[in-house]
Amino acid sequence: MNKTACIVLAAGDGKRMKSHKPKVLMNVLFKPMLGWVLDSAEKTAPDEVCVVVGSGEEQVKKYLESRKGSNYNYTIARQTERKGTGHAVMQAEATLKNSENVLILCGDAPFIDEKTITNALKTHTEGKCGVTVITAVPDNPFGYGRIVRDEKGDLLKIVEQKDASDEEKKIGEINSGAYWFDSKALLEALPKLSNGNAAGEYYLTDAISLIRQSGKRAAVSSAENKLIVLGANSRSDLAALNDYARKRVLKRLMEGGVEIPCKDGVIIGCDVEIGQDTVILPNTIIRGKCRIGSSCEIGPSSLIENCTIGDGVTLNSVQAYESVVESGAKIGPFSQLRAGSHIGQNVKIGDFVEVKNSNIGEKTSAAHLTYIGDSDVGRGVNFGCGCVTANYDGANKFRTKIGDDAFIGCNTNLVAPVEVGANAATGAGSTITKDVPPDSLALERADTRIIEHWEKNKQRKKK
């Protein structure tokens, strides 16, 4: 028997989004709403996490499999028809049978947080409650289930908007859709739910009266953070959630000493850490899991995704994905680091350079118009303008190796697999197909021919 389980309701479709994706996979700050909910739930370390899937089931399952940094093997419960929140929970019967207390969350309310969940669990267990509902008082309660309390301040019932009387509609306190239930009490109540309401659905919220009737307490845990109730039904709602989340992240970063002189176009995901005195310039997006050191200058117009960046790094108009950049490196403008690149300390990468799946040793320089793919490059190497590692023969990819302090002349093609030894050089314009021993020069170039009086001869022919 598990002590705690979590069930996330994620079967809804969200027609108003007009998307091929199910609603719970719509992004807020580049992360699916379901991801936000799971991240918060998992911080409270439940023994089991079950996700109820329905609309877009395959996409949701694929997302769950792809979740990085999560140690959970999710239990999947399938709801084949949307018959309401109570019906959705019934599909997770096995999870209920296997736990003492269960946390139920909506997959489309991304701002539920760890503290709100643990506070509610405290109320729930200390009060030996059958159910504890997390509530909030939003600016506008329209559309939410209203909290009706008894004379002791406990929860009497939840009335949905569609079913509420004029008096009940005036209640400002609403059901966030997040609850702790005593699993056994919920299991007993679920088969008794009816769909005799305005929506014709099996409401999870009706379990509350049933649990009270069985003699158990129904408590309320009011959340300090009223954003926890916010969900999104439309693209405009989603934009509003993005706006909240974005401002909150920027505020947190600035409080930690990050300099953001102008917030225009600066969008930073919630799993990004940035050190103090780093400056973020306009039009910069940093997303996924990123760690950026201190005293860097990132932007303008950069996109950084799942990267680790050291201290004092400059990334000016750079696109960088799944890569590591060591301290003191200067990259840009207009260059790209594709996945699997490791850029050493004090490397200089200038304009229109692409690096892919390569290691670049410290103090190496590739200042202009160069492609370095599937390569292991030593320290202090100099790439002239326009060098290319030809890593692909149309069928297979091969690696290029370049030793320390090598000098790769302008417009060199290095046809992989090939190795240039330490301190070796290649002549400008050479296409190198054989390994170059250390300290030697490789030159592959026809001698320059001079044809004298060429212009005069041409003019004579014309006449």
**What are the residues binding ligand UD1 (CB under 6 A)?**
9-12, 52, 54, 79, 82-85, 87-88, 106-109, 144-145, 158, 160, 174-177, 203-205, 231
Nearer residue to ligand UD1 within complex by CB, 158 or 387: 158
CB of 39 to ligand UD1, least distance (A): 16
Closest of 127, 259, 234 to residue 180, by C-alpha = 127
Identify the active-site residue in 20, 124, 342, 368: 368
Q: Which does 144 bind (CB under 5 to 8 A by kind): ligand UD1, Ca ion, none?
A: ligand UD1
Extract the tokens encoding 386: 């326009």
Partners of residue 220 on adjacent β-strands: 133
Q: Which does 84 bind (CB under 5 to 8 A by kind): Ca ion, ligand UD1, none?
A: ligand UD1
Residue with nearest beta carbon to ligand UD1: 145
Contact footprint for Ca ion (CB under 5 A) = 231
Told to judge if 368 belongs to the known catalytic residues of this protein, a careful annotator would answer yes
Q: Which does 238 bind (CB under 5 to 8 A by kind): ligand UD1, Ca ion, none?
A: none
Nearer residue to Ca ion within complex by CB, 161 or 283: 161
CB of 287 to ligand UD1, least distance (A): 24
Nearer residue to Ca ion within complex by CB, 107 or 350: 107
Q: For residues 383 and 387, what is the distance between their CA atoms, to the nearest angstrom?
A: 7
Q: Which does 290 bind (CB under 5 to 8 A by kind): ligand UD1, Ca ion, none?
A: none
Q: Which does 158 bind (CB under 5 to 8 A by kind): ligand UD1, Ca ion, none?
A: ligand UD1
Q: Do β-strands 303-305 and 285-287 pair in parallel, antiparallel, or remain unpaired?
A: parallel
CB of 14 to ligand UD1, least distance (A): 8
Nearer residue to ligand UD1 within complex by CB, 174 or 408: 174
CA atoms 388, 392, 393, 399: torsion sign: positive
Nearer residue to ligand UD1 within complex by CB, 228 or 436: 228
Catalytic residues: 368
